[in-house]
Chains A and B, each alone.
Chain A
Amino acid sequence: MKFTLLINEGPYQHQASDTAYQFAKAAIEKGHEIYRVFFYNDGVNNATRLAVPPQDDRNITERWAELAKEHELDMVVCIAAAQRRGMLDADEAGRQGKDADNIHPAFRISGLGQLVEGGIQADRLLTFGD
């Protein structure tokens, strides 16, 4: 089966991203396809490359990045939600005249149309969040 995952909560504060990660991993192991992982609301914060969690804890962003690399996952961060919360990639930082960027290269920034399209293309869209 083909899944699109929607993650609506930020890392560490909420288990949504962890659960989605475990789901994605298990689904792939079972031979299913993850069509897209879409990060929205505070979920965009999962894409920060600057988080430094304690060494004995999981690194949520890096863990997603590794899974994405291994299985060529399409991980999309909503641009509107990201801009509100100070999440920028290098291109966007340049465009907005900001002096820093913080989005991990394993993620790409795009519009909400990618979420709707993910819902159209996948057999199931699963929401992780409140």
Chain B
Amino acid sequence: MSDGIKKFMFVNTKAPYGTVYALESLEVVLISAAFDQDVSLVFCDDGVFQIMDKQNTEASGMKNFSNAYKALGDYDINKLYVEKESLEERGLTLDSLMDLTYEDEDDDWAEKPSINLVSRAELADLMDQQDVVISS
């Protein structure tokens, strides 16, 4: 911890609509942006389904909140880690996911991808570097 800024990591492990965890986790993430902390998100296990492209909840009657992930870049939340093994185990690739980006203010507002593909071992190292890990 330096300058009173802590590293917060929100770990998402569950599919988006079967339970309320994904939606309510996202609500905490958006609030955390107001506290000027170092925030990152992880999508692993069934959590990778949270950021699948072209979500359609019409038939299930659930509220489709997937567009909110696209707003994360505007909140300066641009470190999204997707676990490679979780994608592979589910027959998914990066192309299955939404195109989540942010504008880099240190690079003339160039649009850059927010999603980083990481291995399970790399993810363990990243978690080790955090001050606060909140998972659901």
Hey, which bits of chain A sit against chain B, CB under 8 A? 6, 8, 40-41, 80-81, 111-113, 115-117, 119-120, 125, 127, 129-130
How many Å lie between the Cα of A115 and that of B29 in the bound state?
Answer: 11
B32 within 8 A of A: yes
* Max chain A C-beta neighbours (<10 A), residue from B20, B28, B34, B135: B28
How many Å lie between the Cα of A119 and that of B134 in the bound state?
Answer: 10
Complex contact A117–B20 (CB within 8 A): no
Would you list 7 pairs from A and B whose C-beta atoms are within 8 A, ordered by A residue? A41-B136, A113-B31, A113-B35, A116-B31, A119-B6, A127-B136, A130-B21
How many chain B residues touch A (CB < 8 A): the figure is 18
Q: Which residues of A contact B134 (CB under 8 A)?
A: 6, 119, 125, 127
Q: Which residues of B contact A130 (CB under 8 A)?
A: 21, 136
Q: Which residues of B contact A112 (CB under 8 A)?
A: 27-28, 31
How many A-B pairs with Cβ below 8 Å?
45
B8 within 8 A of A: yes
* Distance (whole angstroms) from the CB of B72 to the closest CB of chain A: 16
A113 in contact with B34 given A41-B24, A81-B24 (CB within 8 Å): yes
Q: Which 10 A-B pairs have the closest CB atoms?
A: A112-B31, A119-B132, A116-B32, A125-B132, A116-B35, A112-B28, A113-B31, A41-B24, A120-B6, A116-B31
How many Å lie between the Cα of A6 and that of B28 in the bound state?
Answer: 12
B64 within 8 A of A: no
Q: Which residue of B lies closest to A130 (CB)?
A: B136
